[in-house]
Structure 1
Amino acid sequence: MNFIDPSAAVDSSAKVGYFSVIEKGAKIGQNVVIGNRVTIHEDTVIGDNTTIADGAVVGKPPKPAKTSTVKLSDSIPALEVGEDVTIGANCVIYRGAAIGSNTLIADLASVRENVEIGDYVIVGRGVTVENYVKIGSRTKIQSNSYITAYTTLEEQVFIAPCVTTTNDNFMGRTEERFDKIKGATVKRGARVGGASIILPGITVAEETFVAAGALVTKDTEEKTVVKGIPAKFLRMVDERELL
């Protein structure tokens, strides 16, 4: 019912559901629970006490389109998943990512290669995390948000549902764009409200509060509330809300 390559190291305490595949060189830790129809690709490392729900694809080798701005190196390291991680149903996590301990990757989320995710992070249902993204510990990304390539979210950032980050002011036109692609940097403790849009290269300063539906076109100042299209200063963040 399952295929487990003889070279895979699967701890005897691990539980594997039906019709799952574990490819060569994979390492499965203690008390790992693997659901039905899960694919764990070559050399993937799964930490102790991790749960992988039905239909997940873990450690998928990347293969970008010929027209993609992202170029892969010849050698991409194996996916490493820390301890006590939960990977939801039908998630796709690529080879070359690193997932910290006690992190949740919810149902239908996608995490690309060359991504670093810290400890105690929540990546919500249907979230897309593109390549070359860094996400700090205890950050929360709510359902259906889009984290574009070359974005940094520092520690304890809150990203509300349906937030969009962008990285290309040329939207795919001209050769000049290749040297200028850059995602947002959202600094420690910043909060970004639902359905907001952050333009390429913007820095959202520490403890900034971006109101729902805002269009952030300029760097923000620390501990400020910004709102509107384009986003403008409204007031300072209440001291009671600061970390």
Structure 2
Amino acid sequence: MADTQVGNNVVIEENVTLGKNVIIGNNVVIYSGTKIGDNVIIQDNAVIGKQPTRAKASILPETNQLPPAIIGSEVTIGTSAIIYANCKLGDNVFVADLATVRERVEVGEYTIIGRGVAVENDCTVGKRCKLETNCYITAYSSIEDYVFIAPCVVTTNDNYMARTKERFNNFKGVTIKTGGRIGANATILPGKVIEEDGTIAAASVVTKDVYREELVVGSPAKKIRNVPDEQLLRNQER
């Protein structure tokens, strides 16, 4: 820890592993066993490796102590961000201020998680994605590589809206495959699949799967045309 910069009022619990050139801001809490790579920046008031707390009325099962969080190299974690236990951030991930990444989430390299974004439990997020300000990624969702999700997008996983026991066996997040793009304020209903390069216009409500390279618009969202060739992921410089 000789080359680590540590701010004021920092709590680092036992068995935390810190790489080279780690910068830790003021009032940061890093929980036991967390592994942090090289050249990581953790800004003020961030919490890393937090164990989940279950509400008394929660339908989620109780969990024992989860494995520690793993933070790759060259990662930046913003002010007041919370990274839960059993979360893995790949190299060069950027987590902005006030974002929350829950337990059993894995985030691929070079992905950006914007200000105020919530990634709920049991999700996967691929590499080089952009999850922009205040979007909500519901539990049990799968996001592949090069996905763009605009501000204030909402994804959902419960068609029963918390009524009847039938819902317990039917929770299902959304799947957004490689190159999928979601416009601002769009809503995606439970279990829907956005195929490769599928694109959803702003403020649309997605009630059906979106096929490969389709552009859909409206409420409910309907195809209006294919995505132009010059907009397809395969035609971009990466």
TM-score range, shorter chain: over 0.9
Q: Which runs of 5+ in 2 are unaligned?
A: 234-238
55-64 vs 189-198, greater mean Cα deviation: 55-64
Instruction: Give distance in 2, aligned partners of 1:72 and 1:183.
Output: 20
- Offset from partner CA, 1:155-194 (integer Å, 9 cap, x none): 0000000000000001111111011000100010000000
- The answer to whether the aligner puts 1:155 opposite 2:145 as a matched pair is yes
What is the aligned counterpart of 1:47 among 37, 54, 67?
Answer: 37
CA-CA distance at 1:76 after TM superposition: 1.4
The aligned counterpart of 2:127 is 137
- Offset from partner CA, 1:185-221 (integer Å, 9 cap, x none): 0010000000000000000111011000000000011
What is the aligned counterpart of 1:113 among 85, 103, 107?
Answer: 103
Whether the 8 Å CA contact 2:16–2:33 is kept in 1: the answer is yes
The one-letter amino acid paired with 2:97 is D
Whether the 8 Å CA contact 2:45–2:80 is kept in 1: the answer is yes
CA-CA distance at 1:67 after TM superposition: 2.7
- Offset from partner CA, 1:82-103 (integer Å, 9 cap, x none): 0000000000111110111000
The aligned counterpart of 2:59 is 69
The one-letter amino acid paired with 1:139 is C
Whether the 8 Å CA contact 2:51–2:65 is kept in 1: the answer is no
What is the aligned counterpart of 2:13 among 14, 23, 42?
Answer: 23
Give the 3-state SS of the residue equivalent to 1:233 in structure 2: strand
CA-CA distance at 1:72 after TM superposition: 4.4
Report the RMSD for the aligned CA atoms in angstroms: 0.9
Instruction: Give distance in 2, aligned partners of 1:70 and 1:116.
Output: 19
Instruction: Give distance in 2, aligned partners of 1:235 and 1:145.
Output: 26
Instruction: Give distance in 1, aligned partners of 2:59 and 2:123.
Output: 15
Note the 1:212-227 alignment, pairs <5 A. Answer: 212-227=202-217
Give the 3-state SS of the residue equivalent to 1:177 in structure 2: helix
What TM-score, normalized by structure 1, do the two folds share? 0.94
What TM-score, normalized by structure 2, do the two folds share? 0.96
Instruction: Give distance in 2, aligned partners of 1:74 and 1:100.
Output: 25
Distance 1:72 1:50, change over 3 A: farther
CA-CA distance at 1:77 after TM superposition: 1.0
Instruction: Give distance in 2, aligned partners of 1:120 and 1:172.
Output: 36
Instruction: Give distance in 2, aligned partners of 1:73 and 1:118.
Output: 25
Give the 3-state SS of the residue equivalent to 2:166 in structure 1: helix
Whether the 8 Å CA contact 2:120–2:138 is kept in 1: the answer is yes
The one-letter amino acid paired with 1:218 is K
Whether the 8 Å CA contact 2:206–2:221 is kept in 1: the answer is yes
Instruction: Give distance in 2, aligned partners of 1:128 and 1:70.
Output: 18
Q: Which runs of 5+ in 1 are unaligned?
A: 1-10
- Offset from partner CA, 1:52-104 (integer Å, 9 cap, x none): 00010111111121332332443411100000000000001111101110000
Instruction: Give distance in 2, aligned partners of 1:59 and 1:71.
Output: 19
Instruction: Give distance in 2, aligned partners of 1:76 and 1:216.
Output: 34
The one-letter amino acid paired with 1:89 is T
- Offset from partner CA, 1:132-166 (integer Å, 9 cap, x none): 01000001100000001001110000000000000
Paired-residue identity, %:
48
Instruction: Give distance in 2, aligned partners of 1:159 and 1:72.
Output: 31
